[in-house]
Structure 1
């Protein structure tokens, strides 16, 4: 029985097809990492990404100011 996994007509063995599965997995993993990087994932926690943009309007700053003013206990 001659199948694709037996290579050319020279003899037994997987032939060049043995590289196909690892190459496909490398492309899938590399493509996933590329898409994650492209979408803005940088290895930070989601709650830390917008901290610099909030500045004085961050919830912690607002709660601290209201606590210091005596508005909340």
Structure 2
């Protein structure tokens, strides 16, 4: 007759589960390590390129149109009324020929 200790220590192996292979205990920490390294590398690359510039597909090529307009006004190429009307059009706020107070 089996004692309770013999029954508790005897666990039959039916081919499912870990199967006693020590390889899994090495592979899973390596996979977690590689995942963490990949995340750190992606964050470092994004930081070098600049988080504030936005994603690459949303970045503009060249200077901002409002900045170009301001430079033209500063150089005297356009007068104040033309600057304000074009600025209103660029910003999309209201009627460019409307009230300028």
TM-score (norm 1): 0.44
Structure whose residues are more often helix by fraction: 1
TM-score (norm 2): 0.34
